[in-house]
Amino acid sequence: MTGQIDRHPLAPWAGLFLGAAAWIGHQQSAAGAIFWDCRLGGPLLTGGLGLLFGLIAALGGAVSWRAHKAASRAEDAPAHNRSVAGMIGAGAAGMFLLAIAFQSLTGFVVPACHR
Give yes or no for residue 110 having a pLDDT over 60. Answer: yes
What's this model's pTM, rounded to 2 decimal places? 0.84
Buried b (16+ CB within 10 A) or exposed e, 64-89: bbbbbebbeeeeeeeeeebbebbbbb
Q: pLDDT by residue (tens digit) across 37-51?
A: 888 778 888 899 999
Q: pLDDT by residue (tens digit) across 3-38?
A: 666 566 678 899 999 999 999 999 999 888 888 888
Instruction: Measure the CA–CA gap between 34 and 50, rounded to whole angstroms.
Output: 14
- Give the DSSP per-residue string, 67-95: HHHHHHT--SHHHHHHHHHHHHHHHHHHH
| Rg of the chain taking only CA atoms, in angstroms | 17
